[in-house]
Amino acid sequence: MAVNIDSTCDFQNLWLPFTQMAEPITGFTPKIVRGEGCWLIDDHGKRYLDAIASWWVNIHGHDEKRLIDEIKKQADVLPHCSMGSMVHEPGLKLARMLARIAPTGLERVFYSDDGSTAVEAAIKISYQFFHQNGQAQRKYFVAMKGAYHGDTLGGVSLGDIGSYHSRFRDLCFPALRADAPDCATCDEGENLLDLPGGPEPTCSLKCLGPLEDLLDEHGTECCGLVTEPLVQGANGMRMYKSAALKRMRELCDNHGMHLILDCVAVAFGRTGRMFAAEHAGISPDLMAVAKGLTGGYMPLAATLATREIFEGFLGKYEEDRKLAHGHSFTGNPLAAACGVRNLELFEEDHIFETLPAKVNLLHELWASMNDLDHTAGVRAMGMIAALDLEKDPARHVSYEPEEKAGKQVAAECLEQGVFVRPLGDTMYILPPLAIKPDEIELAVTTMRKAIKKITGQEG
């Protein structure tokens, strides 16, 4: 039986990601024809504030002419060439810039296409490094419960979200898994509505006890610990303090493992700093970045590695120690040129000078969500703010899936002109860094009203 899922869009041939096509995320699916600033505009002229940066990628707004002009300029010169045996200036320049701004020690840049492939490259680099440098006993990776590292099979192997990953388990390699830190559910948890640069609360870090026990038993068999620093994104924006990340660095050092940070969602200002590792004052051995690398204008990702790791791949031709991984569009010149211009805009627009005021406003407004009857775990870090919808927060009673609480709130927000996309019943805002104060207020106010309407709270 044919299902009429939308009267305004033709879905005869299109298949959307993470979307039940018989029942889209909202009651209607806008057809977007252009963008202006932080706004998306459909074919009927209706405007939607992009409160999730179009899946966390957009930085400077949707009509940043300086990025568009750079792409056009590069297209006139060199749209693409292979990077297997050749190089080009945009790729070289972006690598230099990334090495300059990255956490100390990350000196080498390997390009790929998206966050999943950047993580895939990181785990293959780590595995090959150990196996060709006398430590072939290291066969495993440690990942966190509730992790999400993309949708390639390597990323799925590390992932631990049932609706995304469980059906593919027979195709995956086994990963060792430890509890992920989550300050919102810890009895020692601190208020996560803290501003960047504020005092770091202390705790026993008992959340990392299971990880420590796991590494005591299996550390010598592991290549690396793969983790999302400070924010577990797809698992519901679960947040933790930088002290835990610093401890992870120490544990990896103690066991001779690589610390591999999946910074795909949290790099380029999302946590209030360029990279999440800066909050902990640590450097990983490998770091995956994507999403905001080009400001959201071109698909591009990178895996950054230390000099030690890179030199572990050097040798004579006949030794065949080259990295056994690559992509046809590795370091595409259009994307690389856009990435260069994107990073330049961070300096030209003084983003990290203007960002604290926006963070402060977002946190202040978001804290009001604590007053609602059906919200729990109200939390924020940098320009990421999240909460959980619960039927009875006092007893931690969740809504049933068939009640579609998060979906209904998102639909009401869209109807009111604010685009959000929930993670189940976790509602969140993760806007472009270019968002204006009045737009922050609009996004939060609209979601607050939508939550009250859908959950039946009066007043």
**pLDDT tens-digit readout, 431-457:** 999 999 999 999 999 999 999 999 998
pLDDT score, position 195: 44
pLDDT score, position 7: 44
Q: Other C-beta atoms within 10 Å of 452: how many?
A: 18
- CA-closest candidate to residue 300, choices 113, 79, 81: 113
Place of tokens 């969740």: 398
The domains of the chain, with CATH numbers, are: 32-60+350-455 (3.90.1150.10), 69-348 (3.40.640.10)
3-state secondary structure of 137: coil
The DSSP string of 313-361 is: T---GGG--S-----TTTT-HHHHHHHHHHHHHHHHTTHHHHHHHHHHH
Place of tokens 């190089």: 87
Q: Which residue has the higher pLDDT, 99 or 15?
A: 99
Six-digit token string for 366? 């978001």
Range of weakest confidence among 15-24, 351-360, 448-457: 15-24
Res. 6 pLDDT band, cuts 50 70 90 = very low
- Pure H helices in 102-241: 115-131, 153-158, 162-165, 209-218
Res. 21 pLDDT band, cuts 50 70 90 = confident
**Residue 2 confidence (pLDDT) above 50:** no
74 phi and psi angles, rounded to 5 deg = -70, -35
Q: What percent of the chain has pLDDT over 90?
A: 85
Interval 226-262: pLDDT, tens: 999 999 999 999 999 999 999 999 999 999 999 999 9
Q: Which residue has the higher pLDDT, 442 or 203?
A: 442
pTM value is: 0.94
Interval 271-280: pLDDT, tens: 999 999 999 9
- CA-closest candidate to residue 411, choices 56, 149, 24: 24
Interval 302-343: pLDDT, tens: 999 999 999 999 999 999 999 999 999 999 999 999 999 999
pLDDT score, position 190: 58
Q: What size, in residues, is the chain?
A: 459
**Residue 112 confidence (pLDDT) above 80:** yes
Longest dimension (CA), the chain: 75
